Structure 1
Amino acid sequence: MVRKMQLPLQTANLIVGFMVWVLISSLMPFIREDIAIPAGKLAIVTAVPVVLGSILRIPLGYYANVFGARVIFLVSFIILLFPVFYISAASSFTDLIIGGIFLGVGGAVFSVGVTSLPKYYPKEKHGLINGIYGMGNMGTAISTFAAPVIATQIGWSMTVKLYLILLLIFAALNFFLGDKQEPRVKSSIVEQIKGVYKNEKLWFFSLFYFLTFGSFVAFTIFLPNFLVDYFALDKVDAGMRTAGFIAVATFIRPVGGWLADKFQPLFLLMGVFSGITFAAFILAFSPAIGLYTVGVMIIAFSAGIGNGVIFKLVPFYFNKQAGIANGIVSMMGGLGGFFPPLLLSVIYSITGSYSIGFMAFSQVALASLIFVVWLYYMDRLSLQKEVFNSTAQGIIVTDTKGHIKAVNPAFTTLSGFTESEALGKNPNMLSAGRQSPEFYKEMWEVIGNDGQWQGELWNKHKNGEDYLEMLTIATVKDDSGDIVRYVGTFLDITPE
């Protein structure tokens, strides 16, 4: 029963963590009425919680494996009581910065669930499970929508104090309902980092999540004030529109995870980055509110799918180092939400327009699309190499002049010749001399006419012993139909 509770409990934990994480940005239009914040520093205040919320994802992902999700969520919610109370009494820009830094713990808890939950389910469901957990992103939508509504009734300071009650409730829920028997992984954090940092896939996934989750966080932070300042919407309307963006990105996330369970994840990411590239290009032209909404919704849809797909890929490729890999990738996603608002703010202060910033966003998405395509084909080549090296049949690849270009390990096992001894030589180095010239002439005539030949012949092992083999030779042609390679596969069928 306790194990079955973990998915709904940890998803609810993430909702609460994210509600707290965006507390300042959700209430910023109200806070600015009481606390003077220079326009040039506004983006800093709203982005600061993202920094710690990103960096802490590495240790929290690691310690989720060491101590279990129950302990990490419980401790995190207790810690969050202090910055939330401090912000409720804030009276200066400095107070908001100090409190905002420690609000980052709310965003850091993301790496706890993506490390813990896959332990309870088979691999073919990891995409869907992490996608459902990722719906905890809706915590940002809840705060963005509900906090301004409540603040209009009781003020922003009392609204912040309500979060203290929520944190206490969920600290208690984790104490009583968290899984005390969760499997632990206690390898050194240094050993885990050494096990992943040289794998280029980790950094590709980090870049992809930097863009997908980063765009989700960035627009969540950026939109409330942008819609008020640029389109002159009222604060509640801006909050509702931002909540709509968050809701789309959140509810589509498990769909992305489910699709990644069913189809090739990298192929899905091609569609994701194509969508983001197109949408950011639209926003770069500063359209009216209608077209602007279309562009933002495309980003919400694409980012949601991408977020679900990426956390299918991470545990698949980093099963033994899931905690640290999840932490690093999710950290980069959080940082992806930190830099864009600052960059847009700086560009706007220099040019008076956000166009250059959105165009840069479009180009980063395009570069990510190119990387995904490259990674997709590298994966296919890697698979082909694995098949080539693991097959029990000996394989020889030659050019059209008969020079050996490649052999597999089974070739060495069956013939005794190493790869270095075979490369550049002619396959007749293996001949036992038992076949007549007419035999080879007929064989090559069949290959020329049919593109393939199969039969038995005698060859010689490196140690001088003859052996009978079943040999198949096939031609490899280019797009114009010209032969570019010959591939021979053989098995030792010598009678005993």
Structure 2
Amino acid sequence: MRVGVTGSSARSLNLILATWVSAINFWAWNLIGPLSTTYADALSLSSAQASILVATPILVGALGRVVIGPLTDRFGGRTMFIAISVSSMFPVLAVGFAGAIDSYVLLLAFGFVLGIAGTIFAVGIPFVNSWFRPERRGFATGVFGAGMVGTALSAFFTPRFVRWFGLFPTHAIIAGALAITAIVCVLVMRNSPDFTPNTQSVLPKLKGAAKLRVTWEMSFLYAVVFGGFVAFSNYLPTYIKTIYHFSAVDAGTRTAAFAVAAVVARPIGGALSDRVPPKFVVLFSFAGTAAMAIVAAFQPPPDVLSAATFISLALFLGVGTGGVFAWVARRSPAKSVGAVTGIVAAAGGLGGYFPPLVMGATYNAEENNYTVGLGLLALTALAALLYTAYKLPARESAHSTAPAKRN
């Protein structure tokens, strides 16, 4: 029997629960990243092999969102939160098993399936939107987006859990947390009274969302800001150990600080977008991201200057993720929010898939730097800034939901 609450208490409770479900699934999704240097040492992996290992869960977590968004429109957030939490338990255990027996092939295979946990984000946005009035959705989606803190929890605790309990027991603990989370959702969580299932089949909904200009505009922007966050949350342990020669635990601690900064900034970006046009919030994010990427390319010395650089980068990326999704919530047609969210969220995940591969491929071993990769990030952020400044309206209009032009 589910616990019943009404009004603002119900909104707050379900927002908190949704944020927690996101956090624990983000932790599961990011299990490989904090241990990548451990796997690289144990399996004698090259920089490229380690990058592929880190990026593999990101791929499925990205592409799966395309389908999960429309399914949320149909079945509701509560059902999908439960289904994804339960489904993620098994690949978490499988990845732990593969790591325990030092199998790179199995780590890749099970890491691919682990991407299921990363699809959770496409559930939360339509779920939260249905609970809150339009003028509060920027704040609400920003709070839900703070579930990204799961990457910080993973970066900080996963290496420590492995040291304290062992590799497979650590994965068993996370699987247990997912099970408890699913049970709490069964008992407590509920859909908004305003939620109406959209029984249209998934493919037509995706086609309809794909015809909206807003879908592709927001996908591009989100691929930069959220993709940058995901990429650094997963690859920063490798970067820090390679450039600054910290241990896996110390690198995890610094990566956790990066993730926490982005998490704190996300609801700020959402709340700001309730007060000023999201366009200006997003422009601020891109300008700061480009500047910090350039600074990082010069390898500021540890620990104060390098920490300030990457935490500042995280703040700009976090503000941008909050701003972009507040913009999505405003500009998307009400019945297409899930489908648009799924595509945009997938673009964000894909934005996080390629940078680790680029960083690994462009690493200069002779001079021990990632200058090319960071330079490409700066150029991408500048391109997004120019597109936003000159091509996107500051205010919502009929243009926002117009069909995309056919070439």
Common topology (TM > 0.5): yes
1:97-136 matches, cutoff 5 A: 97-136=108-147
Distance in 1 of aligned mates of 2:106 and 2:146: 31
CA-CA distance at 1:93 after TM superposition? 0.2
How many residues end up aligned between the 2 structures? 383
1:55-74 matches, cutoff 5 A: 55-74=63-82
| 2:3 matches 1:23 | no
Counterpart of 1:191 (choices 196, 199, 204) is 204
Provide, for residues 360-385 of structure 1, a one-character-per-residue CA deviation record: whole Å limited to 9, x for no partner.
Answer: 11111111111111134x4569689x
| TM-score under structure 2 length normalisation | 0.89
CA-CA distance at 1:27 after TM superposition? 2.2
- 1:293 maps to what in 2? 307
Distance in 2 of aligned mates of 1:109 and 1:53: 8
Provide, for residues 201-246 of structure 1, a one-character-per-residue CA deviation record: whole Å limited to 9, x for no partner.
Answer: 3212111111111111111111112111211112221111110000
Provide, for residues 346-373 of structure 1, a one-character-per-residue CA deviation record: whole Å limited to 9, x for no partner.
Answer: 1115875311111111111111111111
Counterpart of 1:221 (choices 218, 221, 234) is 234
Distance in 1 of aligned mates of 2:299 and 2:37: 23
Aligned 8 A contact 1:148 1:236 in 2: yes
Counterpart of 1:358 (choices 374, 377, 384) is 374
- 1:235 maps to what in 2? 248
Change (3 A) 1:381 1:137: closer
More strand by share: 1
CA-CA distance at 1:32 after TM superposition? 4.1
Counterpart of 1:371 (choices 387, 390, 404) is 387
Change (3 A) 1:382 1:144: closer
Distance in 2 of aligned mates of 1:159 and 1:292: 30
Q: Which amino acid aligns with 2:321?
A: N
Aligned 8 A contact 1:14 1:110 in 2: yes
CA-CA distance at 1:266 after TM superposition? 0.4
| 2:86 matches 1:87 | no
Aligned 8 A contact 1:26 1:144 in 2: yes
Aligned 8 A contact 2:226 2:321 in 1: yes
Q: Which SS does the other structure have where 1:89 is aligned?
A: helix
Aligned 8 A contact 2:331 2:396 in 1: no
Show structure 2 runs of 5+ residues with no match. Answer: 400-407
Distance in 1 of aligned mates of 2:125 and 2:175: 25
1:7-406 matches, cutoff 5 A: 7-90=15-98, 91=101, 92-179=103-190, 182-289=195-302, 290-318=304-332, 319-348=334-363, 353-376=369-392, 378=393
Distance in 2 of aligned mates of 1:380 and 1:321: 20
CA-CA distance at 1:305 after TM superposition? 0.6
Show structure 1 runs of 5+ residues with no match. Answer: 385-496
Q: Which amino acid aligns with 1:322?
A: V
Q: Which amino acid aligns with 1:221?
A: N
More helix by share: 2
| Identity across the alignment (%) | 30
Distance in 2 of aligned mates of 1:156 and 1:383: 53
Q: Which SS does the other structure have where 1:10 is aligned?
A: helix
Identify which range, 336-345 or 310-319, moves more after superposition: 310-319
Change (3 A) 1:381 1:11: closer
CA-CA distance at 1:9 after TM superposition? 0.9
CA-CA distance at 1:320 after TM superposition? 2.5
CA-CA distance at 1:292 after TM superposition? 3.1
Q: Which amino acid aligns with 1:329?
A: V
Aligned 8 A contact 2:39 2:45 in 1: no
State the 4+ residue runs in structure 1 displaced beyond 6 angstroms: 380-384
Aligned 8 A contact 2:364 2:370 in 1: no
| TM-score under structure 1 length normalisation | 0.74
Q: Structure with the greater relative contact order (CA < 8 A, sep ≥ 6): 1 or 2?
A: 2
Q: Which amino acid aligns with 1:306?
A: G
Provide, for residues 144-169 of structure 1, a one-character-per-residue CA deviation record: whole Å limited to 9, x for no partner.
Answer: 10111121122222211111211110
- 2:404 maps to what in 1? none
Q: CA RMSD in A?
A: 2.0
Aligned 8 A contact 1:213 1:333 in 2: yes
Aligned 8 A contact 1:119 1:183 in 2: no
Aligned 8 A contact 1:276 1:299 in 2: yes
Change (3 A) 1:57 1:8: same
Distance in 2 of aligned mates of 1:285 and 1:200: 38
Change (3 A) 1:111 1:243: same
Identify which range, 350-359 or 215-224, moves more after superposition: 350-359
Provide, for residues 368-420 of structure 1, a one-character-per-residue CA deviation record: whole Å limited to 9, x for no partner.
Answer: 111111134x4569689xxxxxxxxxxxxxxxxxxxxxxxxxxxxxxxxxxxx
Distance in 1 of aligned mates of 2:348 and 2:398: 29
Distance in 1 of aligned mates of 2:225 and 2:244: 25
Q: Which SS does the other structure have where 1:287 is aligned?
A: coil
CA-CA distance at 1:198 after TM superposition? 3.0
CA-CA distance at 1:22 after TM superposition? 0.4
Q: Which amino acid aligns with 1:246?
A: A
Q: Which amino acid aligns with 1:321?
A: S
- 1:428 maps to what in 2? none
Distance in 2 of aligned mates of 1:340 and 1:304: 17
